[in-house]
Structure 1
């Protein structure tokens, strides 16, 4: 309990300076979907990726308490922190099931849960804030079902898998792997498990159908002109040779990032999982669970890379966000394996991990080439690698590979200190590097007052945006304009605001006075220049029938 509370406090503190969405359109998509599910105005995110409704469903009760955008966001951060803190007891259960002793498990798991991969995204309103907890809970319940064949364990694991599919497209991979496990248990188990398999299968089907229905409603309401078609990307990639090269290289880049972002421990975890899967003497339940984890990891890496559009950014070739939901699991497997293995076995595991990280680094470099330097680098995509090199402006793949490999060798050395001191040393080293990385990537800045309202005057009346307004500016208005759905108007071709519209938002080109941004504005309307964002300017025009400026 004390460890869980400490994890909660840490997460709340890391998110304490966040007051409004920054990772758009993702955060806005989830927040506005929650607002709509609560019975209030939605928004138009046509052309963006479909942000599924499972995570938003968790946030819906917030809007029954308050619709104030700043208050909503702060409560969402608290929800994320609570769900993230649950990783500690779940991780402790996983470490104990992997064979680590009670006294050793507590410090090692507490340090491992502070990985940036399982902490960083909890400071934003993103589905990635809940996926690590959801994935670990699914694996724990599924493992119990595989070993005892009970109906309620099958039902619980199936419910978690189907909810994961409701939260994010990665959950569809989890559902597919889960169904394969049910089939494997039915084939390898005795007759008494068939009832559990049938019950679990029914829950998967019902849960997946419910999630599909919810996401279909979200799509119809918030994406009336259509969402970005990632399925078309996936189809074109898996049916062409260049597409396969893109998908496989991107998957290799994700595996590389998984290893270096966990300071090499996930590389040990991948090696152990592979050994357990292929070794003949492995008990059937262990082999099934090893195959589950390995298949889910590789399938998520491949499918997400195949579906990812070419946005001319470095993250297309090496990216950690999609596998972050399984990073803690692989880290725990790797840490426990190092602490429980003999000297020779630990050395072989470390060699396999070093070979894996080197091979994937070479693959990414050979495929991406100059694009790793010429394409756009977004530091938000690389919290761990920017820490390892101290540079927030570029990806230095060779340097990161060497630094991550050195960290792996350090943990190998610490684990050799014996049963008494090894776990404490590994936990201390892991906690130190995790805390340093978190401070580098997301140390709380000065606490500002609540964000200013987007417009002067009352928060009331209809709001429309000119069709020429940059999509980023338009999306940034959807969450703070909580009282109405932001509509569209074409001011350049004589569009006139409908009755009830109090605010019209138009772009402001560089050097253009606010008064000149809408030459054909109705008589009496007055302009207000908004704060520039992303080097883009905008002006809100207000009807005289609305109250005077603040």
Structure 2
């Protein structure tokens, strides 16, 4: 069995890396570039100025920082990030196996089911990017397994390990703040004499994580990070804010169910039912409190960006999707057919009810607001549509897949269920990942600038500046008012806006120093013009 777990984990790593084979640099910005900048700073390199952006915590960049000890090449570093993500993501297979065994599923059935479940899009898609979401599912499942073990054994070491993982989740993302809070509240409900080691570890982890995060904030956010406290207060104290928050929370639950082909609906029903049993009450309460705590808090602090993802979003609860799917698989394998049918129908009703709430609240905004495909990987597969959000169609498609999974299990048992689940997950990821054609963009700045300072004009669009953070690995990008300032000493490159359509590159900076040359750059609609001194450094344009 250990060899099968090892080989299966290796297969998971290979598949996950292969899915991201076309990715050579950040695409989901500012998140990815901010995490990569944090990793570079933690490794002793130059940071970045992320003032007024959301604060991206240090836990995930800390995992990536050793890559900078071996190479500075941005594409090579990014490939290393994908490999690290794949290794962490592959750990969901043995962790899922341990969870199914804890639920009473036999080894021969738990092995293929956990392998298939680990490849859910919710646990695989984000591993294709430099995002903390790539590691959060493993942290969440590991934390729950360790906490459950502590509840059963009462050994202080188990409590301390669970606290360590919860503290690292706090170190990694604001969702981890909910994890740590729930963990600390749960410890006194366990074994009183043994909980102190867990509480001490949680406190120590909190203080250490806060110290590193504060240092990162001071260096990378010199003008302060984006402040959502005012928005959060408004949402929590106003009727309209509560309507936004509760509707968005329903949208997250809807996506959790639909994005797992209906299986998380069964898992939710089974978890609520477990509240009525003494031996499972605590862990069921921990899971549900964490789920609804994350959904509520994240939605309350979410700015209205006039995008469809404001109303139905799967990313925030993706870290718990696998947990609910594993619960559902255990129910399907172990429960009587009638109980399974009832749980499935109730799960479908949860999807219908939460989806209906989103339709009533959001209304036409689901069509008029901006649709971002990155927000909807699973529903794009369910509806075979990458350009628009179709809530009703996605709900029916997920219900149909659930019916197929139930039928296959009824006819062929747990292993047949695993085969179909694996096929659906792989097909979904192949569709989501696209054709995998590798496109390597040209270097964003001339080679002559790689040993000198780089500044950007204050009027440059924030996304253009963000896109430069990772490839400009040798220095921290500064600011300049190009219309009124000369380049500071040591600066080899000044990046300015491209001007209006049709403006020649050599007219984008009338006050440029004599002898400087231009190079237009950018990705997609994010464009700029780099003015550079060809006498800097050792290279040439």
TM-score greater than 0.5 by the shorter chain = yes
Secondary structure at the residue paired with 1:288? helix
Distance 1:518 1:101 in 2: 70
1:197-255 deviations in Å (ceiling 9; x for gaps):
11111111111111111111111111111111123322221111111111111110000
Distance 1:49 1:313 in 2: 18
Secondary structure at the residue paired with 2:456? strand
Distance 1:450 1:497 in 2: 27
Distance 2:230 2:496 in 1: 33
Alignment partner for residue 486 of structure 1, among 477, 496, 504? 477
1:414-460 deviations in Å (ceiling 9; x for gaps):
2223xxx3112211111111111101101452234575353242511
Task: Name the residue aligned to 1:273.
Answer: 271
Alignment partner for residue 227 of structure 2, among 226, 229, 232? 229
Task: Name the residue aligned to 2:367.
Answer: 373
Distance 1:453 1:468 in 2: 18
Alignment partner for residue 496 of structure 1, among 468, 486, 490? 486
Is the CA contact 2:252–2:313 (under 8 Å) kept in the aligned structure 1?
A: yes
Is the CA contact 2:448–2:535 (under 8 Å) kept in the aligned structure 1?
A: no
The reply to whether residue 18 of structure 1 matches residue 23 of structure 2 is yes
Where do 1:281-292 residues align within 5 Å? 282-284=277-279, 286-292=280-286
Distance 2:506 2:225 in 1: 35
Alignment partner for residue 65 of structure 2, among 60, 64, 88? 60
Distance 1:449 1:396 in 2: 33
Task: Name the residue aligned to 2:423.
Answer: 432
Secondary structure at the residue paired with 2:448? coil
Is the CA contact 2:117–2:422 (under 8 Å) kept in the aligned structure 1?
A: yes
Is the CA contact 1:13–1:444 (under 8 Å) kept in the aligned structure 2?
A: no
Task: Name the residue aligned to 1:144.
Answer: 149
1:477 deviates by 0.5
1:342-370 deviations in Å (ceiling 9; x for gaps):
12111110111011000001000000000
1:106 deviates by 0.9
Distance 2:241 2:524 in 1: 32
Task: Name the residue aligned to 2:242.
Answer: 244
Corresponding residue pairs, total: 534
Distance 2:335 2:162 in 1: 30
Task: Name the residue aligned to 1:468.
Answer: 459
Distance 1:310 1:104 in 2: 45
Is the CA contact 1:462–1:501 (under 8 Å) kept in the aligned structure 2?
A: yes
Alignment partner for residue 32 of structure 1, among 37, 42, 66? 37
Q: What's the Cα RMSD here?
A: 1.3
Task: Name the residue aligned to 2:125.
Answer: 120
Distance 1:440 1:202 in 2: 46
Distance 1:341 1:358 in 2: 24
Task: Name the residue aligned to 2:332.
Answer: 338
Is the CA contact 2:445–2:519 (under 8 Å) kept in the aligned structure 1?
A: no
1:118-165 deviations in Å (ceiling 9; x for gaps):
000001000000000010000000000011111000000000001000
In the alignment, structure 2 segments of 5+ residues that lack a partner are 1-5
Distance 1:313 1:77 in 2: 28
Distance 1:544 1:288 in 2: 66
Task: Name the residue aligned to 1:211.
Answer: 209
Alignment partner for residue 51 of structure 1, among 34, 56, 63? 56
Distance 2:315 2:539 in 1: 46
Task: Name the residue aligned to 2:3.
Answer: none
Distance 2:340 2:511 in 1: 74
1:301-348 deviations in Å (ceiling 9; x for gaps):
111111111110000000000100000010010111012111211111
The reply to whether residue 100 of structure 1 matches residue 91 of structure 2 is no
Task: Name the residue aligned to 1:188.
Answer: none
TM-score (norm 2): 0.97
Distance 1:478 1:448 in 2: 19
Task: Name the residue aligned to 1:539.
Answer: 529
Secondary structure at the residue paired with 1:224? coil
Task: Name the residue aligned to 1:505.
Answer: 495
1:81-114 deviations in Å (ceiling 9; x for gaps):
1000011000000011011111111111111111
Task: Name the residue aligned to 2:377.
Answer: 383
The reply to whether residue 347 of structure 1 matches residue 341 of structure 2 is yes
Q: 1:194 to 1:184 in 2, by over 3 A?
A: closer
1:19-77 deviations in Å (ceiling 9; x for gaps):
11111110111111110011110011112110100000111111111111111111111
Secondary structure at the residue paired with 1:155? helix
Task: Name the residue aligned to 1:190.
Answer: none
Secondary structure at the residue paired with 1:465? strand
Is the CA contact 1:14–1:444 (under 8 Å) kept in the aligned structure 2?
A: no
TM-score (norm 1): 0.95
Is the CA contact 1:415–1:423 (under 8 Å) kept in the aligned structure 2?
A: yes
Distance 2:172 2:65 in 1: 14
1:406 deviates by 1.5
